[in-house]
Amino acid sequence: MKEAFGIVDLFSGPGGLGEGFCACPGAKDAFEIDVSVEKDPVAHGTLRLRAFLRRFGSHLPPEYIDFINRGGPEPDWSALYPREWAHAEREALNLTLGEPETASILDERIAEIRRRRGDRIVLIGGPPCQAYSLAGRGRKPSDLGYVAHDENRHLLYQEYINVLKKLRPAAFVMENVKGMLSSSIEKRKVFDLVTEDLRTGGGSVEYELFPLTGSTDLHEHAQPKDFVVAAEDHGVPQARHRVIIVGLRRDLLPAMDEFKPPRLDAVADRNTVRDVLSAMPVLRSGISSRGGHVDDVEDWRRTVALGAARIAVLPHDLDGKAALKFGEALRTVDRTRKITVEKRKDAVGGTRLPDSCPDDLRDWLEDDRLTRLSLHETRGHMVGDLERYLFASCWAAATGCSPKAADFPDKLAPKHDNWKSGKFNDRFRVQPWDLPSSTVTCHLSKDGHYFIHPDPTQCRSMTVREAARLQTFPDNYFFRGNRTQQYIQVGNAVPPFLASKIAAALHPVLSRLFDVATPIVDNGEKAAITA
């Protein structure tokens, strides 16, 4: 068995990108995380827990499965499994990149990783997008190997470059928002500045940059838009578009006419909301105590039924079959006795995915040891929002798409002066069953208006677990923190299933490079490339 490639994971969040590399079915045991870095203590808690669980492979501790199934307080892992927990603490670091203490710790770890791995190292991560509003201030456009001045050490993107320079990995994967393609600083495109720095490896070794998708296999002809990966084209049930840049060390590459770069193949059929959410336990929303309401199931049922009766007499712009379908959807909740939904949380069962879910995604998400889905708990909503959610979900049932602001009857419109100005066009957005969802973002932590469940009988926004499934986190992936913090972690992450596809595309390329190349020794001197 060949030696695994070591991973250094920066800006790790809850670990989505690293999870994909380590659990990749197409490259089993091919990658191991040596160190991951996350500054947020709550996200780091999730990251460290997953690092601990990876020590057990597919045989997760029975105490962990019991914790997921039963809920309640989390066990003391350090007491139960001290060796495995100590390894997780060494792997997952709660540090802020850019601080002197962090640089000192990482320098020591980088030296140790280089001694142990040689060149068999991959750097992954995505500097937060906020960095690009500042990136390049004070830089000289001609300095391709630019290193940030002292006053700019807080630039998080530059920290990625600093680690790239010191680590000299065989490859890197950098992920970020699509907005970096259109952003400019001092009349230069941020994308051009970033790719210049990546090509020069921060002044250490040079890299060739490759898009994973796009219109050409020739990297020298790649356009910026070719680096945009649409997650929905690669099995993720979510329309999420991100810039992903893969770099391979130029001195390790064979003759380019003999070299086949990593590529992602598009799926024939896109996965949808229905494919991952339709078999989950049915839950009701909560109801806000404003207006004298009590959050119990009978009050909620009466409120939803009254909302349905009110909507039934309001005008809408649907006609023909769409109008009939809207009425059918609304009638599922037009009488209190018709509404059988009871629970807001703690629903047992419903852990299996629907038959429509493709096998590869099913295998990725499901865990047959689970008897319940953790973090599948709804939040409360105001009565006015419940009615808007109900209208939106019925509209989606009728049309297959979410209504725009202008589609809402005036009596359901919220009290915003600019409601129909276009600024609030998608303020209430249902996620239709038969499409990939829209991009899961951390805004879910503030309200659920952008992620309304498509089932009118549930009349609610989506839970953390539903958002996690759309992001393709396995069902046994537990997010620490309160519900707001959990939403933020899920929304900021790279979909692990997509990350696994990237790892599967990259691994054969790396394996071939090391079949023909002699690793560079630790002092940085280049060894001969052998045929």
- State how far the Cα of 177 lies from the Cα of 227, in Å rounded to an integer: 11
Sign of CA dihedral 501, 504, 510, 516: negative
The conformation of residue 380, written as its DSSP 8-state character, comes to E
b (16+ CB within 10 A) / e for 118-141: bbbbbbbbbbebebbeebbeebee
DSSP, residue by residue, 262-300:
--PPPPSS---HHHHHTTSPP-PPEE-SGGG---SHHHH
DSSP, residue by residue, 121-147:
EEEEE---GGGGGTTTTT--TT-TT--
- State how far the Cα of 196 lies from the Cα of 140, in Å rounded to an integer: 12
Question: What single-letter amino acid sits at 292?
Answer: G
- Is residue 471 a contact partner of residue 440, using CB atoms and an 8 Å limit? yes
Which CA distances in Å does 407 have to 131, 317, 320, 398? 38, 7, 16, 13
| Residue written as token pair 């309200």 | 447
**Strand 171-177 relative to strand 241-249, pairing:** antiparallel
- Long-range Cβ contacts of 339-343 (<8 Å, 24+ apart): 339/284, 339/301, 339/304, 339/305, 339/457, 340/457, 341/282, 341/283, 341/284, 341/297, 341/457, 341/458, 342/284, 342/297, 343/281, 343/283, 343/284
- State how far the Cα of 503 lies from the Cα of 462, in Å rounded to an integer: 30
Non-local CB neighbours of 398 within 8 Å, separated by 6+ positions: 318, 322, 323, 324, 325, 326, 329
Sign of CA dihedral 86, 87, 90, 92: negative
- Is residue 181 a contact partner of residue 28, using CB atoms and an 8 Å limit? no
Look up residue 355 and give its two tokens.
Answer: 């038959």
Q: Among the options 22, 24, 129, 442, which is catalytic? A: 129
Any catalytic annotation for residue 129? yes
Question: What single-letter amino acid sits at 341?
Answer: V
List the catalytic residues.
129
